[in-house]
Amino acid sequence: MDAADAVKVARELLFKQAMVSINGEWVGSLAAIPSGKAESTLNYSEIFIRDNVPTMAYMLVVGEYSTVKNFLLTCLQLQNTQFQTRGIFPTSFAEYEGQLIPDYGQRAIGRVVSIDATLWWPILTWAYVQRSGDYDFARTAAVQNGLNAFLELVLHPGFRDAPTLYVPDGAFMIDRPMDVWGAPLEIQSLLYGALLSAAGLLQIDLKERQERSIDNLRQAERLETCLAWIVRLRRYMLVHYWVTSTTVQVLRRRPTEQYGESIENEYNIQTETIPHWLQNWLGSQGGYLIGNIRTGRPDFRFFTLGNCLGSIFDLIAPPQQLSLFQLVINNRHDLVAEMPLRICHPPLEEVDWRKKTGFDRKNLPWCYHNAGHWPCLLWFLALAVLRHPQKDSLVIKESEALLHHSYKLLLNQLPYQQWAEYFDGPTGAWQGQQARVNQTWTIVGFLLAHHLLHENGADANVLNVPHIGDFNFSGHKEIAH
């Protein structure tokens, strides 16, 4: 099947079978198109906020703005108002007998709410406003009230001084036990992008207000608090999550068992926790954001989505982004192999798999979220590479060549593999053992990769968030570069 035919098939699957209409308007896409088989499809027939990120990004680049607006408003309608979970957005929702039924984690395995769903909403709202020019939408009471509820949820006093968001295991795309509890990278990257997006939306509203009032002062205070948190979060991430061969060598030589405010090794990281595979993985020029930082238990696994988002949102600076891309190029046999891209590396195996996943049969080594391959991730890497300012850099040229190679792998396999959800094995050659076929974000991920690589690479700015320097904020000069 050539590219034109594959795109045609993918678009027909998306627009004719995956999109869901409520009251005559599209509001999102199903997680997977029903196969018609007798077995249960679980909750794959629901509209997941996380799964709709590529769908909404694609709608933005093709000009289907009304669909994105309907999706954002529907999510906003379902934002939780209960005391303990006020401000969160549902993991998914579905229409039943004329009613929208949301899932806030009460039906999930482990009863864990998907924190990433809540963090994606302000990012998608900012993207919609920027692409459509619908600034009036940003100023509506519904959007501003939703933002304030979101900020009250994430920027509240707690028992930790760190600016990261602490979450349980299974609270994001990796939604089953994988020892990702604490402050996992993907959540922190999303938090950074979400806070910048929320700040941008607050500023749009403040610019329209002329009179001085208590409400205006409170709104301005929220913006200042948000910006201050952003500065702290980025500095923290660059200090504790960003690693290169040089920083690892410094970390290995730091003293342990220290106490007090001015110490070198505040998380008491022992040399034995730094894995030997890291030396070859990093090489001399590679760099990446590690998966997690916890007292005595750093997680050095490479998580693809969190690192791509860190680049897309400029959590890491352009020179660091080049180091990240160099690392991907150097480790293409692990990350791309026969089906891009591996979700994390390396997998939990043997005793680690048994203890940390609870003998999870879906997350066997090299399967599903335990180092499986997910074609829906390629467009995120494409965004990260194509938006980089140094177009003439050798690393960027090599990265673009890798993207085109990865696109051909998707083109040659996905239509015949029925647009499967994920692929198993060290090279990703096998369709996932429990993978759903006609998975919507696989379909749309291919459409986005095709659009970015063969139609309009300039649309790699679709998820750009504001920069801290765009705000009149007294603390912006403190941000690390």
Given a cut of 50, whether residue 300 has pLDDT beyond it is yes
**Averaged over 96-116, what is the pLDDT?**
88
Token pair recorded at residue 407: 């696109």
| Helix, coil or strand: residue 366 | coil
Is the confidence at residue 253, as pLDDT, over 70?
yes
Q: What is the pLDDT of residues 403-420, one digit of tens each?
A: 999 999 999 999 999 999
> Does position 359 have pLDDT exceeding 80, yes or no?
yes
Among the residue ranges 84-93, 449-458, 467-476, the one predicted with the least confidence is: 467-476
**The pLDDT value given to residue 475:** 55
Do 396 and 325 contact (CB within 8 A), yes or no? yes
**How confident is the model at residue 481, as a pLDDT?**
40
At 474, is the pLDDT very low, low, confident or very high (cuts 50, 70, 90)? low
User: Is 444:437 a contact under the CB 8 Å cutoff?
Assistant: no
What average pLDDT does the structure give for the chain? 94
Domains of the chain: 3-478 (1.50.10.10)
Each residue's pLDDT tens digit, 160-175: 899 999 999 999 999 9
Structure tokens that stand for 258 in this block: 């220290």
Per-residue model confidence (pLDDT) at position 325: 98
Whether the pLDDT of residue 38 is over 50: the answer is no
**To the nearest whole percent, how much of the chain has pLDDT over 70?**
96
pLDDT at position 480 over 50:
no
Query: Band of the pLDDT at 242, cuts 50, 70, 90?
Result: very high
Task: Give dist(CA 347, CA 90) in Å, integer.
Answer: 29
- Report whether pLDDT(35) > 70: yes
pLDDT at 460: 98
205 backbone dihedrals φ, ψ, rounded to 5° = -70, -40
pLDDT digits over 216-236, tens only?
888 899 999 999 999 999 999
pLDDT over 90 at 249, yes or no: yes
Question: Is the pLDDT at 476 greater than 60, yes or no?
Answer: no
Report d(CA 45, CA 31) in Å as an integer: 6
Q: What's 286's DSSP letter? A: -
**What's the confidence (pLDDT) of residue 198?**
98
Task: State mean pLDDT over 149-154.
Answer: 95
Residue 110 has pLDDT above 90, yes or no: no
Q: What is the pLDDT of residue 355?
A: 96
Residue 396 burial (CB count, 10 A):
18
H or E segment and range at residue 288: strand 287-289
**Residue 433: CB atoms within 10 Å:** 14
Nearest C-alpha neighbor of 71 from the set 86, 97, 90, 96: 90
Closest CA to 172 of 273, 292, 71: 292
Half-sphere exposure of 57 (CA within 13 A, CB side): 28
- φ, ψ of residue 420 to 5 degrees: the values are -65, 155
Determine the average pLDDT of the residues in 333-338: 97
pLDDT at 127 over 70: yes
| pLDDT at residue 29, rounded to an integer | 98
